[in-house]
């Protein structure tokens, strides 16, 4: 646990949170400042800042909880869809440095955008650039 981490404190019951699901490795609770009714956060029990810091088994537990909860959350608030995403690092907008996946219920005509709108302007990449990037990722992912 990280003493000054708000999500560690929710996981440990030190501060109140509207917990909607928990298992050995993952906990889910309502976002305190929701983007939509039912906006839910899924966190690993242990403190890690980003997905890259998270051990594989805890990452699997977080994904399993997201997989379980996305349809449940949608149904609970009668949503048409959901956006499921991580702000993975400060430059991506992560404010709480305890990795968390957002399940944000979405409604036809809610005025929000797709995930494609979160990055800045699109880069102009040649086929060669794309090949090189794909090679770098593929060899690092082995």
Strands lying side by side in the sheet with 81-85: 19-22, 26-30, 40-44, 101-106, 81-85
Query: Residue 13 interacts with ligand 5GP (CB under 6 A)?
Result: no
Q: Which of residues 112-131 bind ligand 5GP (CB under 6 A)?
A: none
Which stretch, 28-36, 58-66, 67-75, 126-134, contacts ligand 5GP (CB under 6 A)?
A: 28-36
User: How far is the C-alpha of 42 from the C-alpha of 30, rounded, in Å?
Assistant: 9
Token pair for residue 8?
A: 């560690």
Say whether 100 is catalytic: yes
CB of 96 to ligand 5GP, least distance (A): 4
Number of residues near ligand 5GP (by CB under 6 A): 12
Number of residues near Zn ion (by CB under 5 A): 6
CB environment 41-66: b (16+ within 10 A), e (fewer): bbbbbebbbbeeebeeebbebbeebb
Catalytic residue numbers, as ranges: 100
- Residues forming contacts to Zn ion in the complex (CB under 5 A) are 2, 5, 7-8, 47, 98
């Amino acid at each position: 646990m990280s003493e000054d981490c708000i999500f560690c404190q929710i996981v440990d019951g030190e501060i109140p949170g509207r917990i909607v699901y928990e298992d050995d490795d993952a906990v889910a609770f309502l976002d305190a400042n929701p983007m939509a009714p039912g906006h839910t956060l899924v966190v690993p029990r242990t403190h890690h800042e980003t997905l890259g810091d998270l051990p594989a088994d805890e990452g699997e537990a977080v994904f399993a909880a997201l997989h379980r909860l996305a349809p449940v959350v949608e149904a609970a608030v009668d949503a048409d869809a959901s956006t499921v995403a991580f702000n993975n690092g400060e430059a991506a907008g992560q404010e709480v440095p305890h990795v968390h996946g957002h399940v944000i219920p979405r409604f036809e005509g809610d005025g929000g955008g797709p995930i494609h709108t979160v990055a800045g302007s699109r880069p102009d990449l040649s086929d060669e650039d794309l090949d090189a990037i794909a090679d770098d990722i593929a060899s690092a992912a082995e």
